[in-house]
Amino acid sequence: MNEPLKNQDFPQKPEESHSSLIQRAMQAFDRGQFVPPSGPADLLPPSLTPQAPQGIAAAQPQAYAPVNPKAPVNPQAYAPAPIVAPVASPPQYGGQTYGEPGAHATQFAPQQPAHAPAAPAQAFHRINHQRLALEGFAVPGGAANAQVEEFRIVKRQLLEQVEDLRRQGAGVEAQAILVTSALPEEGKTFVAINLAMSIAAEKDSEVVLVDLDMARSSVLSTLGLPSGPGLVDAIADPRIDVRDLVIKTDLGGLSVLPGGRPTASDSEYLASARAKAVLARLVEGHPNRVVVFDTPPVLAAALAVEVAKLSAQTVLVVKAEKTSGSAVQDAAGLLSAGCPNVQALLNGVQFSPSGRRFGTYHNYRG
């Protein structure tokens, strides 16, 4: 059974308690009724990776309109760009090459018309709805089932808190939800995608799912979307408008934002003051937009802790029969230092005979 999410006054930290999440979950459910989880894994098979996008073709001379010979012509109007020093191994995003943050405007400008934006506007990308449904995802418009209802319950509690926090003046963080886990392979990406698709089905809400697990890019590969510059690039380079990097999909109100190219300074970029400014730009003019972050596991990388500071709510995914109580407590303790509202979602639970995939949803205390 899903237990209702307990309201908390933002931004007060949760009350202390001596019982852990796992202990409460064990009290709520008889462990003898558990059977090995059969839900989808956090990652899809490698064979489902998307096709690389087409590369950027070099500018051709015929792309310029012919000049009227009777009109005066400035001899330098179409002069070739000055030769610049070659750039060693520009970073690759799929099959497309981009310059380093802060440098691409000079190095690659000759390949684009003068009026082109820094980043091309993204067209709608089609997602294979049938494949996602077969793999256990709650696709909007699909058949109703117990899992769809489970995510509706979780979504409703989170959205209610979004509205409460906005009324309390929580700032742009009120519109951000972090989904992470203590350790790898606990189902965080599965939960993040399902939660985002469930929010996208709302009539008055839209969602941007941010793939910040950049070492794996599981969100992009699961949805069959191209990789490219993303949130970290927009933070690193003030000339990049983060909204130009958002990938729109044909799933109603669902859009996806890549994390960008992994660097050794990702955590520092997300801890900077500019990170909050970029988040504000992402939701600017969209009061009903919710941002869902999918990050690396808390105990595997420091990035999740920094993203928690940008989020008013955190969902900590806990794999039933796998994650230890100490790991949950350690992860929740790190997250609660930046986000006072940490909730745990018990994933992979299968009860006999109902067969529900996940069961409890708790406020973390202590």
Instruction: Please count the structural domains in the chain.
Output: 1
Please tell me the predicted confidence (pLDDT) of residue 148.
86
Model confidence at 276: pLDDT above 80: yes
pLDDT in tens, 156-165: 999 999 999 9
pLDDT in tens, 231-249: 999 999 999 999 999 999 9
Please tell me the predicted confidence (pLDDT) of residue 24.
53
Q: In this structure, are residues 211 and 188 in contact, taking their beta carbons and an 8 Å threshold? A: no
Q: Examine residue 130 and state whether it is found in any structural domain, yes or no.
A: yes
Percent of the chain residues topping a pLDDT of 90: 50
Please tell me the predicted confidence (pLDDT) of residue 144.
76
Please tell me the predicted confidence (pLDDT) of residue 18.
52
More confident residue, 129 or 246: 246
Q: Examine residue 23 and state whether it is found in any structural domain, yes or no.
A: no
Model confidence at 49: pLDDT above 80: no
For 236, the domain range is 124-363
Q: How confident is the model at residue 123 (pLDDT cuts 50, 70, 90)?
A: low
pLDDT in tens, 339-354: 989 999 998 776 544 4
> Where is average pLDDT lowest: 99-113, 215-229, 264-278?
99-113
Q: Examine residue 240 and state whether it is found in any structural domain, yes or no.
A: yes
- Mean pLDDT: which of 51-65, 105-119, 243-257 is highest? 243-257
Please tell me the predicted confidence (pLDDT) of residue 321.
86
- Which residue has tokens 């742009």? 172
From the list 250, 219, 234, 249, the residue with the least C-alpha distance to 282 is 234
Per DSSP bridges, beta strands 176-181 and 313-319 are parallel
Q: In this structure, are residues 41 and 187 in contact, taking their beta carbons and an 8 Å threshold? A: yes
> Averaged over 206-215, what is the pLDDT?
96
The pLDDT mean for the chain works out to: 75
pLDDT in tens, 164-206: 999 998 899 999 999 999 999 999 999 999 999 999 999 999 9
What is the CATH number for 154?
3.40.50.300
Model confidence at 13: pLDDT above 80: no
> Averaged over 52-67, what is the pLDDT?
44
Please tell me the predicted confidence (pLDDT) of residue 19.
52
- 223 token code pair: 């949805």
Q: Examine residue 89 and state whether it is found in any structural domain, yes or no.
A: no
Q: Which residues contact 236 (CB under 8 A, 6 or more apart)?
A: 101, 102, 269
Please tell me the predicted confidence (pLDDT) of residue 305.
97
Please give the backbone phi and psi of residue 344, each rounded to the nearest 5 degrees, phi first. Answer: -110, 135
What is the pTM assigned to this prediction?
0.65
Percent of the chain residues topping a pLDDT of 70: 61
Please give the backbone phi and psi of residue 350, each rounded to the nearest 5 degrees, phi first. Answer: -130, 115
Q: Examine residue 8 and state whether it is found in any structural domain, yes or no.
A: no
Q: Examine residue 218 and state whether it is found in any structural domain, yes or no.
A: yes
Q: Examine residue 343 and state whether it is found in any structural domain, yes or no.
A: yes
More confident residue, 352 or 146: 146
